[in-house]
Amino acid sequence: MRFYRSWQRPRALSFDLDDTLYDNRPHIRAANQWMVDTLADELGRRINWQTYKERVLAVKPALIHDVTECRRAWLYLGLKEQGIAQAKQRADELMDEFVAVRSNFTVPESSHQLLAELAERMPLVAMTNGNVDIQAIGLSDYFSYVYCAGGGYRQKPYADLFTAAATSLKLMPKQIAHVGDDPITDVYGALSNGYQAIWVNDRVSVVPTLLPHLEVGQVTDIEALWS
């Protein structure tokens, strides 16, 4: 654990989900492969779906902040142009199935224990740019509030999720510490919105442009702050 800034014990914590409380990389890779294989089986050929995503974002750039609706939109466009009669219905079905597949994993018991202990001390907030089903992965009960990018909220590091969380908690941003792995969305996002920042650097990443309040090697290390 390394301290870079003056640290004040927070009255609440916000947590990033993917790659902070669990390793999301194998699960999102598997879900993306499932989607590619499923579409190839249904269409009888493989399509460059990235081009449909690029076309959707060219017309509706705000969808970059909503991974679910962006994927739904390019699925619909692609299926329609590939001649699928019920393209919208099938895009909706595939999107639901994708979220279920990408949320079909077990969160490490160490993360469950950490959240359970911290939730007894203070309110916790989940704050994610992704679309994991937090109830399906068994984490929803630990959090007082859950905020996901999309539906009018821009992704971190924009202020939207940070402001919403502080408002719901009825706390000043400096009274909240945000815990996350990403130097931009989590560390820069927290600091630029007045939060304290706890950087989970379990991959020996490059040093962020803005140093966090403290750096830990794994998320469970933060338990020592209350020991």
SS (H, E, C) 115-161: HHHHHCCCCEEEEECCCCCCCCCCCHHHCCEEEECECCECCCCCHHH
SS3 state of residue 216: strand
Q: Is 23 within 8 Å of 219 (Cβ atoms)?
A: no
Is position 181 annotated as part of the catalytic site?
no
The single-letter DSSP state of residue 47 is: -
Strands 196-200 and 2-3: unpaired
Rounded alpha-carbon distances, angstroms, from residue 79 to 10, 65, 70, 135, 175: 48, 22, 14, 30, 47
Residue from 16, 18, 66, 186 carrying the catalytic annotation: 16
For the chain, the farthest-separated pair of C-alpha atoms sits apart, in whole angstroms, at 61
Angstrom distance (rounded) from CA 28 to CA 20 = 14
Q: With the C-alpha atoms ordered 56, 26, 103, 178, is the resulting torsion angle positive or negative?
A: negative
Which residues are tagged catalytic? 16
